[in-house]
Amino acid sequence: MVTAATGVAAAVPPPPPNPSDSELKTSRADAKAKAGKVGELTNQLAQAEARLMDLQADVEAKMEEANKALVDLESAVDAAAKAKADAEAAKREADSAGRDIEAARKQLDDFAAGSYKQGTTMGSMSAYVGAKSPEDLLARAQLLNAVSGSELDALESMERARTVKANKDSLARAALDEANKRQAEAEQAKRNADAATATAQQAQRDQASKSQELEAARADYERQLNEAQAKVGGLENQRQRYQEWLAAKQREDAAKAAAAGNPRPVVGRPSGDRAQIVINRALSQLGVQYAWGGGNGSGPTRGIRDGGVADSYGDYNKVGFDCSGLMIYAFAGVGIRLPHYSGYQATSGRRVPLNQMAPGDMLFWATGGRIHHVAMYIGNGQMVEAPYSGSRVRIAPVRYGGIVPYATRLL
């Protein structure tokens, strides 16, 4: 190096530290081992997450069964109440008919007893007293015969009515027994459905706990990996600085002027790349908590109630994103508006085969043909997503279990 004032070559400063090849090799091996462990834990976590998604779908199905059982139980209770009312009404009718028949029978018995005491089958002698002529007497006898006959006819009619009402009473009681049986069956079905839902929710909570443990373990190894990579980078920087010093020393020794090199420009994605804008916007929300129903074009919002799993995690009191809300925010950065439902987002653009998916495409998962989750592909087999209640926006390997066979492209 030559100074401007003297024109004499300046001495090269003392050499910087030069890590040995062994140190570099050991450091790189340690970083590689840490990266391998991170990859292993990432795969385990992906499997755990896939299991959690399956359990979540199972919980939703069990909750629907419990809802159906509740509706059936309410219908059975209503039917049993109506059958009970019908049975009580039929019994009252039968009892009333019985009382009417007993009264009519007593009246007829009193008439017959009076006739017997007077020594005639035509009625009481008092009915004949005061007859003014034989014709009048005969008319009164015919009248008494008609009265006795009509009472017998009425008694027979009431007996038939009582039989009809007794049959109605019997049928109503049988209907009540059947309704009570259906109600008992519906109550048992509701208990079974509630128990199945509780079991499914417990399995989901257990799996979520395992996933959190794996997530914590992976985070710890990622920290170690970052430290190992920083160490490798530090050693490599030292080696590079030493090599630069050595080159300068060689130039000095050869009495050559130092040549200043222009740095090579960094090649990256153009700033106007819409896919990268969308990806960067989604990645800017890493770590934001999940909130079912949360998220819009401006950012995270308060979640809403779902009457089930999300409520148990208190999502309605959290500010964050759900899976489709994160997509709304990401694509709003390039002026694209999306509906807050993953099923509609799946049809909002052009479908491409999974083997042609590109960064910025949306990926979807379905159970029983119904789409229930969406994430964004960011390249290198990775995606960004808001996965489920109790989690946060994160980067994860693409899960192929339950994935629909296409990606949706908007850009």
Active site positions, annotated? 323, 373, 385
Q: Are 237 and 16 in contact (CB under 8 A)?
A: no
How distant, in Å, are the alpha carbons of 20, 101, 142, 165, 168 from that of 154? 125, 9, 18, 16, 21
What is the C-alpha separation between 352 and 361, in angstroms, rounded?
9
Q: Are 352 and 411 in contact (CB under 8 A)?
A: no
Give the count of alpha carbons within 13 A of 119, CB side only: 1
Is residue 28 classed as helix, strand or coil in its secondary structure?
A: helix
- Beta carbons within 10 angstroms of residue 233's beta carbon: 12
Secondary structure letter of residue 127 according to DSSP: G
Structure tokens, 200: 């499914």
| Contacts of 135 by beta carbon, 8 Å cutoff, 6+ apart | none
- Scanning the structure block, which residue is given the tokens 């229930």? 372
